Amino acid sequence: MRYILLSIFTIMFAGFLTANESKVCQKCHPIIFSEYYESSHRNASAYNNPIHQAMWDAHPKDEKGYTCAKCHSPSDAEALKNGKLSKNETQLEEPISCVYCHTIKDIEDGDSSNTNISTGKQKEFYTAEEGKKGKAEYKTQTSWFGLVKESKSSPYHKIDYDNKNYYSGNVCMGCHSHTNNEHSFDISMLDAVIDEKDENSCVTCHMPQVLGTKVTINESKTHAYHGIAGIYHKSKNMGEYIDFKVSKSSSEFSVSVINKSNHALFGQAFRQGILKAEIKRDAKTIELKPFIFERILAKDGKEVMPWDAKETLKDSLIYAKREIIFAYTLKKGDRLTLTLGVQRISDEGIKKLKLEDNKELSKFRVLKSEQFSF
């Protein structure tokens, strides 16, 4: 009877998968699904992301329609094919579905942007797990004279552990490499470069191992975090990939911010990084003027919206390292606290996109804080 029910569920699963892909995954991956549901991937569509919505509303419209679907809602077949954006279930619930990400076979390099090459398969998914190779088929393993039965792999879909892109992090490079506007100008400036020898990758930084089983039928102690660590969630975890070094002279002190990730920090349009410096001297607190990390896009020497940009008016991003000079003298006994954080969108961007009512967008999110004594 158990196997009959399993067969019936498997058939129902296959038929329902195309209608509501990610919701089906919740049945066996409840922890991962709950993380995904709050992630930047599930909130990538214009209807879930107020910044993206405001950008699209302000963007000039033409016969191409909603071309952002390629990365912001690739699971919406209609939007992807015809450029038609409508408020439907896919846009709201799974603009970038679990199935979409786990069926990316390869990445095709492009001048304007890269393209994800999908297998199109509904029941065979790629994943990465060190020590495993090949395609895993469902089977059960018994021990203790048949008293203990353990499931191996999944009864609902095949698993392919052989795609090297899922180990290197290159699977993310279809959408997170570069985005050139019609003037061949890169408006995202992630400048991501991944090498096989690199210790860190998109996956190790943004999908770290956290407590909780990845699947209910074969419990594990940890799983890859699917909430996507970064400025939306687990922002302080990003401090692991940032170092501060401080040196002082008689009239000033310098702070070197060292970026150990594979890409520039704060390169997206209107994104803003902020370094705060606070000095405790006896009973007094001295707050110095914060340093702003940003990239201002321009045309003919004037700041413009990303789609019109042809040049960079200002670039204070953190690539491998950025040194900041504070014209202030540190004295013996001082305690300096450095705090690096980020705003999803700058105050100027909020004004341009008319998002003043959404206070969450201008919230200062801490990435790293460290104290130095002199």
- Would you state the pLDDT for residue 150? 55
| Residue 212 · residue 184 · CB < 8 Å | no
- One-letter amino acid at 109 equals D
Cβ neighbours, 10 Å, residue 206: 24
| Residue 49 · residue 344 · CB < 8 Å | no
Beta strands in the chain (DSSP E): 104-108, 115-118, 124-126, 135-136, 139-143, 148-152, 158-160, 209-211, 222-224, 242-248, 253-259, 272-281, 284-287, 291-293, 295-299, 302-303, 311-315, 321-326, 335-343, 365-373
Residues ≥6 apart with Cβ < 8 Å to 227:
35, 36, 38, 39, 233, 234
Q: What is the largest CA-CA distance in the chain?
A: 82
Three-state DSSP state, 222: strand
C-alpha span between 319 and 190 (Å, rounded): 10
- Would you state the pLDDT for residue 190? 75
C-alpha span between 38 and 52 (Å, rounded): 16
- Dihedral sign for Cα atoms in the order 27, 33, 38, 40: negative
The DSSP-derived string for 29-75 is -HHHHHHHHTSTTTT-STTT-HHHHHHHHHSPP-TT--TTHHHH-TT
Query: Confidence band (pLDDT; 50, 70, 90) for 282?
Result: very high
b/e burial code for range 292-316 (CB count within 10 A of at least 16 → b):
ebbbbbbeeeeebbbbbbeeeeeee
Which residue ranges does the chain devote to CATH 2.60.40.10?
A: 235-373
Pairing, β 158-160 against β 148-152: unpaired
**Mean residue pLDDT across the chain:** 89
- Among 29-43, 93-107, 138-152, 294-308, the range scoring the smallest mean pLDDT is 138-152
Burial label for 32, CB within 10 Å (0-12, 13-18, 19+), is buried
Q: CATH number of the domain at 235-373, out of 3.90.1300.10, 2.40.340.10, 2.40.50.100, 2.60.40.10?
A: 2.60.40.10
CA angle, 69 then 70 then 75, to 5°: 70
Three-state DSSP state, 10: helix
Residues 82-98 have a mean pLDDT of 96
* Integer CA distances (angstroms), 58 to 52, 54, 113, 298, in order: 10, 6, 21, 17
- Would you state the pLDDT for residue 151? 54
**77: region left, alpha or beta (phi > 0 left; psi from -120 to 50 alpha):** alpha
- Would you state the pLDDT for residue 218? 84
pLDDT tens-place string over residues 43-62: 999 999 999 999 999 999 99
Residues 176-196 have a mean pLDDT of 84
Q: Measuring CA to CA, which residue among 11, 9, 34, 12 is closest to residue 22?
A: 34
pLDDT tens-place string over residues 117-171: 999 888 899 999 888 877 665 555 555 555 545 556 678 889 999 999 999 889 9
| Helices (H), ranges, the chain | 2-17, 21-25, 30-37, 50-58, 69-72, 77-82, 89-93, 98-101, 165-168, 202-206, 347-352
Q: What is the pTM of this model?
A: 0.86
